[in-house]
Structure 1
Amino acid sequence: MAYILLAIAIVSEVIGSTFLVKSDSFTKLVPSLIVVICFCIAFYLLSQVVKVIPLGIAYAIWAGVGIILTAIIGFFVFKQSLDFAALCGIALIICGVVVINLFSSTAGH
């Protein structure tokens, strides 16, 4: 159940981050409200997850997957380019998340 909550927290954080662009520096009401609501949901769920999964592991997965999804949305939705260095960094993040989940005994599986 903790990993389901973590996945929802990640999706909520990514939606919130995406709407940061749409909020136009918090000058547009609806996108700004979506940002605040999504981040509140994300942090609440993360606070529940860390009761089961160690903070370092949960946050590493949350941040890593969030970065990857946000970069993908930036590329496809906002037409932001990713250079070779960015793609290499994202690949390393993916490797890190996989290593944590497959090999860490502290991941709480």
Structure 2
Amino acid sequence: MKFLYLFIAILSEVIATSALKASEQFTKPVPSVIVVLGYGAAFYFLSLCLKTIPMGIAYAIWSGVGIVLVTLVGVVVYKQTPDLPAVIGIALILAGVLIINVFSRMGGH
């Protein structure tokens, strides 16, 4: 259940972040409401998973997966193509998340 909460938190944050761009500085009502509800849900579900997942691990997974998903939304919805340095940076972040989860005692191993 703890990883389901984390997945819902990540998905909510990605939806909220994607709607943030569409809100056009909170001038569009529907995307603005999605932003507020999405971030509210994201932090609520993150708080639930923090009962059983160490904070550093949860945040590493949240940020790594979130960066990839937000980048994909940017590519598909907003036609924002990341350049090579951006792709390398994202890969390094994901490598860090993987290292923490596989090798760190903090990850429960």
TM-score range for the pair, normalised by the shorter chain length: over 0.9
* Corresponding residue number in structure 2 for 1:69: 69
Quote how far apart the aligned CAs of 1:74 are: 0.5
Q: Per-residue displacement from partner, 1:11-57 (whole Å, max 9, x unpaired)? A: 00000000001111001111100010010000001111111111111
Gaps of 5+ in 2: none
Residues 1:101 and 2:92 aligned together: no
Corresponding residue for residue 38 of structure 1? 38
Normalising by structure 2, we get a TM-score of 0.93
TM-score (norm 1): 0.93
Q: Residue 57 of structure 1 contacts residue 106 of structure 1 at CA under 8 Å; is this kept in 2?
A: yes
The CA RMSD over aligned residues, in Å, is 1.3
Q: Which runs of 5+ in 1 are unaligned?
A: none
**Structure 1 segment 44-55 matched on structure 2, within 5 A:** 44-55=44-55
Aligned positions, number: 109
Moved over 3 A (4+): none
Say if 1:41 and 1:70 are closer, same or farther in 2 by CA, change over 3 A.
Answer: same
